[in-house]
Chains A and B, each alone.
Chain A
Amino acid sequence: MSDYIGLVIIAIGVMFDLFGCIGMVRLPDVYNRLQAGTKCVTLGVCLILIGTIIAADNTPTRLKALLCIGFILMTSPTGAHALARAARMSGIELWKESVVDQFERD
């Protein structure tokens, strides 16, 4: 039974990954791409790891998957923030229909 619950959760996670990557290819500028890619792919990979915890049959895999969720949830937003800040500081312009730019005010 837990095999099938894990299978459903992993399927949802893989779908999030796919839509995040499609958004990363389709969206217009680097900030939109970063937003779509980072949020969707982080949630998708966390769901895959949760499904691994549910469906795995040995304890070391479960514990390492739990640790991996912690690492992903800590490192992915930090990396995305550093990337967006570096892109803005190196002079990449926003998309022409973007409505707010709060970096200039600081």
Chain B
Amino acid sequence: MPETPYIAFAGILLFCCALCLYRIGRGPTGPDRMVGIDILGTVVVGFCALLALVTGKDYLMNVALVWALVSFIGTLALARQLGGRHE
């Protein structure tokens, strides 16, 4: 398996995570930060899949599965907390 491209892919995904962190830290309103958190969770799932492919260890895919579900629940909880303010 060629390994050099995967290092470049990991670097690009880390740059994506940095952009998400920029949006979380800088975002002018609360929902902007929540968008950053949601997208950061999805990018990390792809990162875990890449790591499982390179190392050949299948338990890293368990991390990706759990991360996807926990990120979804966190997003729903934050959205409920924000949207319930005017109900």
Q: Which interface class (under 10, 10 to 19, 20 to 34, 35 or more) fits B?
A: 35 or more
Residue of A whose beta carbon sits closest to that of B67? A68
Q: Which interface class (under 10, 10 to 19, 20 to 34, 35 or more) fits A?
A: 35 or more
Q: Give min CB distance, B33 to chain A, whole Å.
A: 10
Q: Is the interface of B mostly helix, strand, loop or mixed?
A: helix
- A17-B16 contact, Cβ under 8 Å, with A37-B35, A80-B38: yes
Residue of B whose beta carbon sits closest to that of A72? B68
Residue of B whose beta carbon sits closest to that of A76? B42
Which residues from chain B contact A75 at a C-beta distance below 8 Å?
Answer: 68-69, 71-72
Assess whether B31 is in contact with A24, with CB atoms less than 8 Å apart: no
Which residues from chain A contact B53 at a C-beta distance below 8 Å?
Answer: 6, 10, 51-52, 55-56, 61
Interface residues of A (CB under 8 A from B): 3-4, 6-7, 10-11, 13-14, 17-18, 20-22, 24-25, 30, 33-34, 37-38, 41-42, 44-45, 48-49, 51-52, 55-58, 60-61, 64-65, 67-68, 71-72, 75-76, 78-80, 82-83, 85-87, 89-92
